[in-house]
Chain A
Amino acid sequence: MADEVVVFRVWDSPFSYRVELALALKGVNFRRAEEDLKNKSSELLLYNPVHKKIPVLLHAGKPIAESLVILEYIDETWKQNPILPVDPYERANARFWATYVDDKCLEILWRACWTRGEEQQKCISEAGERLRTLETALEGKKFFGGDTIGFVDIVVSFLTPWMEVLQEMARIRLLEEENYPRLCRWVRDFSSCDVVKETRPPREKLVAFFATLKPPN
């Protein structure tokens, strides 16, 4: 099909999830091409020769790589239910927070769950500061995007269920209600959206999957 939309993804990746959520928000039909990252398909290597990673969006035979780049492409190609605001300053704000999450939050949150001992305490402390900063972006708003889910909400989606599962397994609580009331409320509101419920990976499956990964020494 000439206009076919394909997402090269893995079911447990929060990055390919961003792409699927954005397409679902816009009501765009797409095919999922599941990848085995230990045995990448020749198609994936053809469509993303530089990074060889998922997600890749294939639209009418043309590939787009890097989740934030893909989100902008989706918003510009399918105009219904906009993900980014119209105003350039608000757009800059949304981009700022999205890159803040990717550059400053993801890795430290991951490490807080997988390290142990003194290093873990340091990671937890640093992660806490980053979450505190992120929370300021929610001031006076239901979602990062305002009344409806937007660009930043999609990018922060790894907080639920991925971070919830990881925290449980690591037996730590980073997102305590009393310390992060806005973020905790966001998790509840985001999770209760139909489009999120319909697209996110099942929690139990993630629990089983993460249980097979060994924490780094």
Chain B
Amino acid sequence: MGSDLPEKGLVLLSSWASMFGIRVMIALEEKGLEYEYWGQDLGNKSATLLRLNPIHKKVPVLVHDGRSICESLIILQYIDETWPGADGASCFLPADPLARSRARFWADLIDKKITDAGANLWMTKGEAQAEAKKEFMESLKLLEGELGEKPYFGGETFGFVDIALVCFASWFHTYDVSGSLNMEAELPKLMAWVKRCQERESVSKALPDPLKVYDFMLILKKRYGIE
């Protein structure tokens, strides 16, 4: 991996288990965009990562023609707006402002409610874990309600909210075991939606093996000194 960024083209700095990085990988694949992947060791952050994302020091970072864009949902919108595709056909966000606002609302909810609650399922115990379990399941049930009978959150087309949520799919097994959730039984429509998304090449290529993620979680627990 070179430390010199190409002047032109796309580079994605990410880490294999990062759901936020997975969002960007799916997005780039959906648009058929070529890019270089620079895997990052988040336990020992590279000078390049710290230079490209000095404020948050996180992955993913997308570099396009030498300029960096941070924060996964912002990157998704950047990709969508820079490569809209013919007649907006392959756009993640719909054309109608009201429909766009709904997509943004649900993506925002995913970031606010799923991320931390999911992490707390394996990082905490007792009351804190019970609280996390409640918030996690309630939020997913809300999302399942929003999905309804549609094939995707975007309706007939795979879109913004689908990408924002399906990135967690490889972590569901970890959450399930850590939190004793039984997601398959509790969220059947959502689990069916996950399988439907996994039929897309962009998704199946980006999602890591759930068992690998579980082992990674165990390593993280040790690293953070969590019992």
Contacts and interface: CB of A to CB of B under 8 A. Distances in A.
B75 A77 contact: no
Contact of A92 (B55, B69, B98): B69
Given A96-B70, A96-B74, A70 B101 contact: yes
B67 A69 contact: no
A46 interface: no
Nearest to B64: A89
- Of the candidates B55, B64, B109, the one having the most CB atoms from chain A within 10 angstroms of its own CB is B55
Contacts of B75: 92
Contact of B81 (A50, A69, A91): A91
B71 interface: yes
A127 to B, nearest CB: 15
Contacts of A100: 55
Contacts of B105: 64-66, 69
B77 A69 contact: no
B97 interface: yes
B173 interface: no
Given A88-B81, A95-B77, A77 B97 contact: yes
Nearest to B84: A88
A95 B81 CA distance: 13
- Candidate in A62, A66, A72, A92 with the most chain B CB atoms within 10 angstroms: A92
A50 B98 contact: no
B100 A91 contact: no
A72 B78 contact: no
A133 interface: yes
Q: Dominant SS at the B interface?
A: helix
A168 interface: no
Contact of B71 (A50, A89, A96): A96
A69 B101 contact: yes
Contact of B108 (A66, A77, A89, A96): A66
Contacts of A95: 71, 74, 77
A59 B98 CA distance: 9
Interface in A45-94: 50, 59, 62, 64-66, 68-70, 72-73, 76-77, 88-89, 91-92
Contact of B98 (A68, A73, A91): A73
Interface string B35-78: 00000000000000000000100000000100101110011011
A99 interface: yes
B101 A88 contact: no
Given A64-B98, A88-B77, A92-B74, 5 more contacts: A59-B98, A69-B101, A88-B81, A89-B64, A91-B78
Interface of A: 50, 59, 62, 64-66, 68-70, 72-73, 76-77, 88-89, 91-92, 95-96, 99-100, 133
6 tightest Cβ-Cβ pairs between the two chains A and B = A76-B97, A88-B81, A73-B101, A92-B78, A69-B104, A64-B101
